[in-house]
A and B are shown apart, each in its own frame.
Chain A
């Protein structure tokens, strides 16, 4: 993946001026770090192959990764809902999801934490600190 990113950087950098009359152009620096990225990625891939051949590679706990990705998906859904529901509702739903689903707390507890959290954010940011929160179509 990083090798791909390195190639992308090199291709893009080649489209910009490398060395102009006033000195190095916008393509100078990216070209060099792109080259380094490709070289290091290839080296890393070779090392991982050598490691997996000797049986030293670490096993991945997909259950743990799944929990983290589920939480991230919840966050992404919350961000997607910000425009429609506004911060207070979308964040309340996200908190409810984290408490009830990720931490398996009773629904009553999850509801109380979600409501408390949204209320706390409303009191702290817009009211106390005068910091605006994303507003949804419902007007809050």
Chain B
């Protein structure tokens, strides 16, 4: 069957009434949490994960993916109206979006953001549909050494690009590996790092770590201050939300730039939508005829980053679904969700679960249309969510987190672990340790250790197996290059400083 046949099959799955409803729930929730500053898609997906265990995996993945890409649409609303990004990928949108709003063009800015998101989101799904199947076929030739090298490469990219300090990102990743190593060793049944506790013999549940570090860590961070930021007036009526023809004409290249850059960056593990939006904004400014106007409220300054952060979601699904390598905290949680539902993202995923994969792709087309319809006329309604008092929102998040963890294991021990990981998440946030490498280290830790040990079993303990195979050698070379390149840059900066 060709791609067209598969995608038609996918639409048959995605258009079933139940999956359509899950898609709507996902994109609606995604928009809501995107609008809310301080609550990201990773935290929301982690909190809702336990509730999806009883769902059909296809419906569940359609809903969770809807939250992921829906949050990118909602994130622009707070950037434009509050000058506070609803999620990290919308940071750049603040630069021109808020300036447009201050000049009374909030409606046009919100409209451009929604249209750019729709175009780029759709381009991202087309890219996913065309690139994922051949990449999965190529990855079928991978064995344990290649998988180990691939995981090293993925972790190195996340470490390189997460946060300001690579050392802190590496340490966070190592802590993630340590937590993943807790419990009974799969090969020898030795108990590791269990502190004599029977509850730790099975290791720590992913839900506990993800909800603790992301949801509770974020909420505790937001509880540091009592007052929220002030919001600019919300434009009313669809007419006031529509950009002018001139705006759309000015943005035509920004739509394209955002779509392409976002997808390409998304495919690379670790880069993420924040970097995609920054690069896309930078390129748009560099090629603009009036770069000096960027930052003063030009529509291209909204269209390019908003497009990039939406297209990135389609790109990020490629390594997740075909290689089983997540590129960010949110996709790491999605990977864990797949594993918890009994699925194994990787080269065989598309072949073994065509209905799920193509159903998901088709649902992303449908979800983007739903989001455009939801976001254009209903932006004033979504903006009202910003008026929801923090003293109602945050207790609700605490409650959902506790119930979510308790519903998985019915264990109060896990609830205590949740509190401990919440404190860890808060401390990491406070001390500028990025959370994504920890979650990635945790998710990939088991697989990485297994791949390394299987590789060494294949070679009777000879480490050269990792560098004697061309694909794994290339990936490990790139890993080392990525980790040492910043050291050379820093050494060079010190040398220049010393000379001057």
Q: Give A contacts to B, CB under 8 Å.
A: 2, 5-6, 9, 12, 16-17, 19, 22-26, 28-30, 33, 36-37, 40-41, 43-44, 47, 61, 64-65, 67-68, 71-72, 75-76, 78-79, 82-83, 87, 91, 94-95, 98-99, 102-105, 113, 117, 121, 125, 129, 131-134
Contacts and interface: CB of A to CB of B under 8 A. Distances in A.
B193 interface: yes
A82 B403 contact: no
A26 B188 contact: yes
Nearest to A36: B174
A112 to B, nearest CB: 10
Contact of B399 (A24, A25, A29, A91): A91
A71 B391 contact: no
A113 B392 contact: yes
Number of chain B interface residues as a range:
35 or more
Contacts of B141: none
Given A22-B457, A98-B391, A131 B407 contact: yes
Interface centre among A24, A105, A131, A132 (most CB of B within 10 A): A24
B221 A37 contact: no
A104 B171 CA distance: 38
Contacts of A125: 403, 407
Contact of B174 (A33, A71, A117): A33
9 contacts: A9-B178, A23-B457, A26-B185, A28-B453, A44-B165, A44-B171, A82-B415, A102-B226, A133-B403
Contact of A30 (B178, B390, B398, B416): B178
Contacts of B392: 113, 117
Given A29-B453, A113-B395, A121-B399, A41 B224 contact: no
A99 B220 contact: no
A104 to B, nearest CB: 7
Given A75-B422, A117-B399, A65 B193 contact: no
B214 interface: no
Main secondary structure of the interface of A (DSSP, over half): helix
B461 A131 contact: no
Contacts of B406: 87, 132-134
Given A37-B171, A113-B391, A71 B220 contact: yes
A83 B226 contact: no
B402 A79 contact: yes
Contacts of B399: 91, 95, 117, 121
Contacts of A71: 219-220, 223
A131 B223 contact: no
Interface string B475-488: 00000000000000
A83 to B, nearest CB: 7
A40 B391 contact: no
A79 B435 CA distance: 24
A50 B253 CA distance: 46
A98 B188 contact: no
Interface in B395-436: 395-396, 398-399, 402-403, 406-407, 410, 412, 415-416, 419, 422-423, 426, 430
Given A6-B174, A103-B390, 4 more contacts: A23-B460, A24-B453, A36-B170, A64-B224
B167 interface: yes
A41 B171 contact: yes
Contact of A75 (B177, B419, B453): B419
A76 B391 CA distance: 18
B202 interface: no
Interface string B221-259: 101111000000000000000000000000000000000
A79 B453 CA distance: 40
B178 A5 contact: yes
Interface string B171-199: 10011011001000101101011000000
Contact of A40 (B171, B177, B395): B171
A64 B394 CA distance: 16
A60 B422 CA distance: 20
A43 B167 contact: yes
Contact of B192 (A26, A87, A113): A26
B190 A76 contact: no
Given A9-B178, A30-B178, A94 B398 contact: yes
B139 interface: no
A104 B423 CA distance: 23
A19 B407 CA distance: 40
A44 B168 contact: yes
A23 B394 contact: no
Counting chain B CB atoms within 10 Å of each CB, the highest count among A28, A72, A102 belongs to: A72
Interface string B446-482: 0011001100110011000000000000000000000
B51 A117 contact: no
A79 B226 contact: no
Given A26-B190, A87-B403, A47 B167 contact: yes
B402 A91 contact: yes
Given A2-B175, A5-B175, A132-B407, A102 B223 contact: yes
Contacts of B225: 64, 67
A128 to B, nearest CB: 11
Contacts of A113: 391-392, 395
Contact of B51 (A40, A41, A131): A131
Contacts of A99: 391, 395
Nearest to B460: A23
Contacts of B216: 75
Interface in B346-367: none
